[in-house]
Amino acid sequence: MKYDYDAIVIGSGISGGWAAKELTEKGLKVLLLERGKQIEHKKDYHNEWKNPWDMPFKGSGDQAMFNEQYPVQSKGRYGDEYSIDHFVNDKENPYQTTETEPFQWRRSYQTGGRSLVWGRQCYRWSDIDFESNLNDGHGVDWPIRYADVAPWYDHVESFIGVSGAKEGLAQLPDGQFQKPMPLMLIEQNLREALQEHMPERRLTIGRTANLSEAVGDRSLCQNRSICARGCSFGAYFSTQSSTLPAAVATGNLTLMNDALVETLEYDEEKKRISSVNVIHTQQNKRQKYTARLVFLCAGSVNSVALLLRSQSPTFPNGLANSSGVLGKYFMDHANTLAAAAVVPGFEDHYYDGNRPTGIVVARFRNIKPEAEKLGFTRGYSYQGGAFRQTWVRGKRMAGLGKDYKNELKKPGPWVFALTVFAESIPQESNRITLSDKKDQYGIPQVHIAFKHGDNERAALADAAAEAKKMLALIGGHVVASSDQPNFGGTAVHEMGGARMGKDPKTSVLNKYNQAHDVPNLFVTDGAAMASSASQNPSLTYMALTARAVAYAVEQLKSGAL
């Protein structure tokens, strides 16, 4: 059979960019399909250099328009006037969820996907994470362990550039780091107080894909902390700054924008995907493309939805779904503000620039489950950091006249905030399905049913109590705290729905992210995850993608595919 391409990659975000890079560098002709618009590096970062006074709404945005057009995306960390065009228009791209606990689905349909707007935190998972399902019976056992992924973590970190400090923690393995960004004095004080009074707890600088040392034509970070606008310096990892240029340099890549994949067509005789069926949204034209390999990297929800739409006589409930678990065991970290405290005694200190990362307190609960009786399994970690309040504090501060204004010209008090991310336990009821409602292209909308369980709530309650204790070590006066989870989706760490596993009867993918049922299909984004750990997952997506490509190409060249 004559194929249009050797491989087709669906989605150009963090995972898709890596799949395109690795496949093209191994000599394959690759079609990279992106459902959204083209955003060219440097050229199309339209608001990168603008000041508040250059913006119609001073950077805050037209709230009436946001409520109408971006009611979900504008609630996110980067959903402001500068960066909102890097997110989807919710009104034009509807989805369904439950009314009582609506899932906040953050999306970016464009070249680079959410790699333009991600939080850039890069943490390895450990065997504590890969063995958790086996140890406590939730979910299915991972078919891999840390040793399987470690060399691929090395591979990814060395290429993208991750700044961080080595700490020697079993639960948070060290990596190939550039020099760490500095802790502020107040953060260093908390680190030392923890070492003295709670030595099992380690505060370290956030490990981030912001360069502290230049890599090739990518400059080191300028400490602007406006990353979601796009970075012409290439100082943080995005598809545009890193993997896409590498793929283009091979001469083996074709990037196609405004190409929405409607279904994957299955050949009943050859038991392979025979074509990728695309809607060219600007022309409203449908077209088929063929390839020996298909890498599905559209993001957890969209990848699962595409498989569910791709029905056939063999797979009436979705492609590669002989197990019946496709769409189930969907996860997102339970997150909330564990504690924020005003900390006196550091008023003669400030900070230089806007550091694009915070601190992390590594997981310390249930490292040895047999030794702890906490009322919950798994664990949580904190992210956050210290900052000085600005003039905005005046909205909540008593005062009047000249003295009031002069006071607001000064730096405000120091605040130390700790946000908690608790592990999401795999639950069958948390799932992605297809709605009866259709979108503008006649495609079934996604329905997301998700809620946090008792285990997550118990973990957050413990995290809030412990955060207060830790901040008290440096004299912090707690001014805000919560033990209740935010809505699902707000962590923007959605995972699962097409999980990896050893048994084809209980999982969708094998240990190489290859579909048990469809040998030329690989799913390497968050949909593949069998558990959620408590740390950010994107580094693991990238490592698993590179690993899967190496396996797939080896199989292709040997004639097994």
Express each pLDDT in 484-538 by its tens digit. Answer: 999 999 999 999 999 999 999 999 999 999 999 999 999 999 999 999 999 999 9
Contacts of 371 (CB under 8 A, 6+ apart): none
The tens digit of pLDDT for each residue in 168-189 reads 999 999 999 999 999 999 999 9
Q: Compute the C-alpha angle 510/536/337, nearest 5°.
A: 140
Alpha helix segments (H runs only) across 315-451: 401-409
Is residue 416 within 8 A of residue 524, CB to CB? The reply is no
Taking residues 358-383, report their average pLDDT.
89
Taking residues 125-146, report their average pLDDT.
97
Is residue 164 within 8 A of residue 151, CB to CB? The reply is no
Confidence (pLDDT) at 333: 98
Average pLDDT, the chain: 97
Confidence (pLDDT) at 420: 98
Q: Is 384 helix (H, G, I), strand (E, B) or coil?
A: strand
- Provide the whole-model pTM: 0.97
pLDDT higher than 80, residue 101: yes
Q: Give the Cα separation of 191 and 299 in Å (integer).
A: 36
If we measure between CA atoms, which residue out of 418, 349, 414 comes closest to residue 206? 418
Confidence (pLDDT) at 37: 98
Confidence (pLDDT) at 373: 74
Confidence (pLDDT) at 524: 98
Taking residues 152-173, report their average pLDDT.
98
According to DSSP, the β-strands at 203-205 and 359-361 are antiparallel
Q: Give the Cα separation of 23 and 13 in Å (integer).
A: 15
Based on C-alpha coordinates, what's the Rg of the chain? Answer: 23
User: 358-367: b or e for each residue (b if 16 or more CB lie within 10 Å)?
Assistant: bbbbbbbbbb
User: Quick one: pLDDT band at residue 371, thresholds 50, 70, 90?
Assistant: low
Contacts of 20 (CB under 8 A, 6+ apart): 9, 12, 30, 32, 243, 244, 247, 253
According to DSSP, the β-strands at 30-33 and 253-256 are parallel
Confidence (pLDDT) at 372: 63
User: Quick one: pLDDT band at residue 369, thresholds 50, 70, 90?
Assistant: low
Query: In the β-sheet with 431-438, what is the strand arrangement from edge to edge?
Result: 96-97, 444-449, 431-438
The tens digit of pLDDT for each residue in 446-477 reads 999 999 999 999 999 999 999 999 999 999 99
Confidence (pLDDT) at 274: 97
Confidence (pLDDT) at 368: 82
pLDDT higher than 90, residue 244: yes
If we measure between CA atoms, which residue out of 240, 310, 327 comes closest to residue 40? 240
